[in-house]
Amino acid sequence: MKKFANLLKKEIRELVTLQLALSLAFTVILFSFIGQVSRKEVRKATGVQTISALDLDGSAASQGLLKGLESARFEIRRIEEKTRDEAIDLARTGESKLLLVIPAGFGDSLGSLTPGEIETYSYLRSFSLIGTRSQVVVRGVLSALNNVLSDKVLRDKLPGIDPGSLKNPIKSKDFVIVRDRMAEGSAGQVAGLVSSQSLLIPIILMMIIIYSSQMVISAVAMEKQNKTLETLLTVPIRRTSIITAKMLSAGLVGLISAGIYMVGMKSFLGGIGEEAAQAGAQGGAAIMRQLGLYFSTSGYLILGAAIFLAILVALALAMILGVLAEDFRSAQNMIMPLMFMVMIPYFISLFADINTLSLPLKIFFLAIPFTHPFLVSQNLYLGNYGMIFGGLVYMLVVFTGLVLFAARVFSTDKILTMKLRIGKKKTAVA
């Protein structure tokens, strides 16, 4: 045990470098930054919109229109005693992204029930998402205007009747059912929210797997390149201990990295969820809570277990690939097959539902151990615990098989003679 601890300590010290600490700190800062930016954006999207308005008509109808807009969550900045061109210049220097001009005769045309025309001027101040949001504002303004005006006409013509009932005599009340829970809302809205919440998990998982595997492949390859492997293999310690120490150290560092990534992700998703809850008008977060579509502590634990098992499988595979590498440089190429094994299910989980694929394709993807952690979040939401635990067991079996194979390789000549040198001799006689 003392010998193993000695080896483990050395492996950990080789992995925990300043570069690793900086990389993790950078990731956490990045998550926090993305969370803050997203929060700000959600606030902007759901907050009061400011528009400038020039009323050249001055009729009761135009005044009523502006008051109606104010009641529809628009802050109106009225421009007084200016011409259209002066108002356009004035609004350009302000914060408004939209100028509304009500021409003279607007009230009269409404009185004669002919369509009244108003002018809107959008100020495209940048091409970012924030800049182009003025288009959304325009649509919101027009929709609000038409509602206000048509409601007014209907109230005048048919007093005592609710204009809303007249315009939409048939109303639908939408419900979404997930397992045994039901909530009022649209399926599209729920699917969109789930998708946005699950989007980051595969990306983070892919990062961790590739990063941890790189550590192991490099650790074995560096032992070969620095000519320390032969000496290590002749010291009185079991070969399985050498493998275990290398994998455990990379696993521990990988787990700590995963933990830090998860904390960052949770704060990020929590931030979005919090803002979504505040945007209660749409009721997105409320629906998600009602339907139980959020991660509980046990959900996070299961997700963590799936990620950890996937890391272990990747580490065992990396250990074998590391043996095939001749040096650090060739180790960089050895990571490629592993990357593909992670990326293929990642892209599939982004663009398709594995459950609806044809049986051979489904078997193919489920046979890739890294597919399972990508499916965990969706299966947790849907309560497919059989699928989740089946995946966990499968990953454990694959991991055990790979470790046994790696132990076999380390216990034979293959650790020194097995090399993947395309186009060259595979072994060399000393």
CA distance from start to end of the chain: 34
Is 14 a residue that touches another protein (CB under 8 A)?
Answer: yes
Query: By CB under 8 A, is residue 226 in contact with another protein?
Result: yes
236 lies in the site for another protein, by CB under 8 A: yes
Closer residue to another protein, CB minimum distance, 7 or 342:
7
233 binds another protein (CB under 8 A): yes
Q: Is 231 near another protein (CB under 8 A)? A: yes
Report the C-alpha gap between 254 and 248 in whole angstroms: 9
The one-letter code for the residue type at 169 is P
For another protein, the binding residue among 78, 173, 227, 424 (CB under 8 A) is 227
Dihedral, CA of residue 82, residue 88, residue 90 and residue 91, to nearest 10: 120
Kindly tell me which residue out of 23, 150, 228, 278 binds another protein, with binding defined by CB under 8 A.
228
Residue type, 200: L
The closest alpha carbon to 50, from 103, 1, 95, belongs to 95
Q: What are phi and psi of 412, to 5 degrees?
A: -120, 180
- Which of 108, 113, 133, 114 has its CA nearest to residue 123? 133
Residue 26: CB minimum distance to another protein, A: 22
At a CB cut-off of 8 Å and minimum separation 6, what does 62 contact? 55, 102, 106, 107
CB neighbour list of residue 197: distance below 8 Å, 6 or more residues apart: 269, 272, 273, 293, 294, 377
Determine the interface stretch with another protein among 209-217, 231-239, 372-380, 383-391 (rule: CB under 8 A). Answer: 231-239
The reply on whether position 421 binds another protein by CB under 8 A is no
Is there binding between residue 237 and another protein (CB under 8 A)? yes
Choose between 245 and 285: whose C-beta lies nearer to another protein.
Answer: 245
Q: Kindly tell me which of 239 and 362 has the beta carbon lying closer to another protein.
A: 239
Count CA within 13 A, CB hemisphere, residue 169. 1
Residue 199 in the binding site for another protein (CB under 8 A): no
Among 205-213, 229-237, 356-364, 369-377, which window interacts with another protein (CB under 8 A)? Answer: 229-237
Q: Which stretch binds another protein (CB under 8 A): 207-215, 346-354, 380-388, 413-421?
A: 413-421
- b/e map 307-320, b = 16+ CB within 10 Å: bbbbbbbbbbbbbb
For another protein, the closer of residues 233 and 343 by Cβ is 233
Rule CB under 8 A: choose which of 2, 78, 171, 424 binds another protein.
2
- In 168-238, alpha helices (H): 187-198, 200-225, 229-234
- Does 424 bind another protein (CB under 8 A)? Our answer is no
Q: What is the dihedral of CA 147, 152, 156, 162, to 10 degrees?
A: 50
# chain residues binding another protein, by CB under 8 A: 24
Answer for the pair 21, 68: CB distance below 8 angstroms, yes or no. Answer: no
Q: What is the C-alpha to C-alpha distance for residues 257 and 403, in angstroms, rounded to an integer?
A: 22
Give phi and psi for 256, each to the nearest 5. -60, -40
| Residues 6 or more apart in contact with residue 336 via CB below 8 angstroms | none
In the complex, minimum distance from the CB of residue 415 to another protein, in angstroms, rounded to a whole number: 8
Q: Which stretch binds another protein (CB under 8 A): 224-232, 298-306, 328-336, 365-373?
A: 224-232
Instruction: Establish how many alpha carbons lie within 13 A of residue 261's alpha carbon, considering only the half-sphere containing its beta carbon.
Output: 23
* By CB under 8 A, residue 416 contacts another protein: yes
Out of 282, 296, 400, 412, which residue is the one contacting another protein (CB under 8 A)? 412
- Residue 417 interacting with another protein (CB under 8 A): yes
> Of 107-115, 201-209, 380-388, 422-430, which segment contacts another protein by CB under 8 A?
422-430
Q: Which of 19, 71, 234, 298 is close enough to bind another protein by CB under 8 A?
A: 234
Question: Are the C-beta atoms of 177 and 185 separated by less than 8 Å?
Answer: no
For position 413 contacting another protein by CB under 8 A, the verdict is yes
From the CB of 228, what's the least distance to another protein, in Å?
A: 5
Point out which residues bind another protein (CB under 8 A). 2-3, 6, 10, 13-14, 226-228, 230-231, 233-238, 412-413, 416-417, 427, 429-430
